[in-house]
């Protein structure tokens, strides 16, 4: 239980909540979805770093987990923007977001496969 209440665990989690929340709030206030995405990403990364310091995530799996989560995040954001009609008369521009998500997904899965084959 003590490994969860150390400063190197609590500090990134608290900073992730504060910084991510502030950036998200600033983005929402200025109607800037990019700033909201940066806030969510920054908060998520800092929280995951704090969780990783507890030893819950096995060594070497933090990067693949982050890649898989960001692949899902990019795919969902791209689909949301596409369904809202933000691309206008050029919906094929959404392919850039989906290709980026697929690349992140493949890299994350490859890293997990490499990790599991080493054991």
pTM of the predicted model, to two decimals? 0.81
Q: Is the pLDDT assigned to residue 119 strictly greater than 80?
A: no
Instruction: List CB contacts of 91: < 8 A, sequence separation 6 or more.
Output: 82
**Cβ atoms 42, 70 nearer than 8 A:** no
Give the model's pLDDT for residue 1: 61
Rounded to the nearest angstrom, the gap between the alpha carbon of residue 22 and the centroid of all alpha carbons in its chain is 17
- Please give the pLDDT value at position 44: 95
Q: Does 26 have pLDDT greater than 90?
A: yes
Q: Is the pLDDT of residue 78 over 70?
A: yes
- Give the distance, in angstroms, between the CA of residue 73 and the centroid of all CA atoms in the same chain: 6
Decide if pLDDT at 106 tops 90. yes
Helices in the chain by DSSP H: which ranges? 7-29, 33-54, 62-83, 94-118
Mean pLDDT score of the chain, rounded to an integer? Answer: 91
Within a 13 Å sphere around the CA of 96, how many CA atoms are in the beta-carbon half? 5
Domain ranges of the chain: 1-57, 58-119
Mean pLDDT value across residues 61-84:
93
């Amino acid at each position: 239980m003590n490994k969860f209440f150390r400063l190197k665990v609590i500090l990134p989690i608290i900073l992730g909540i504060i910084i991510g929340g502030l950036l998200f709030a600033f983005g929402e206030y200025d109607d800037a979805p990019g700033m909201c995405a940066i806030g969510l990403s920054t908060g998520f990364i800092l929280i995951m770093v704090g969780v990783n310091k507890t030893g819950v995530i096995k060594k070497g799996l933090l990067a693949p987990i982050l890649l898989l989560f960001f692949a899902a995040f990019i795919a969902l954001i791209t689909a949301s923007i596409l369904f809202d009609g933000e691309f206008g008369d050029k919906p094929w521009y959404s392919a850039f977001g989906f290709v980026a998500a697929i690349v992140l997904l493949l890299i994350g899965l490859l890293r997990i496969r490499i990790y599991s084959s080493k054991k």
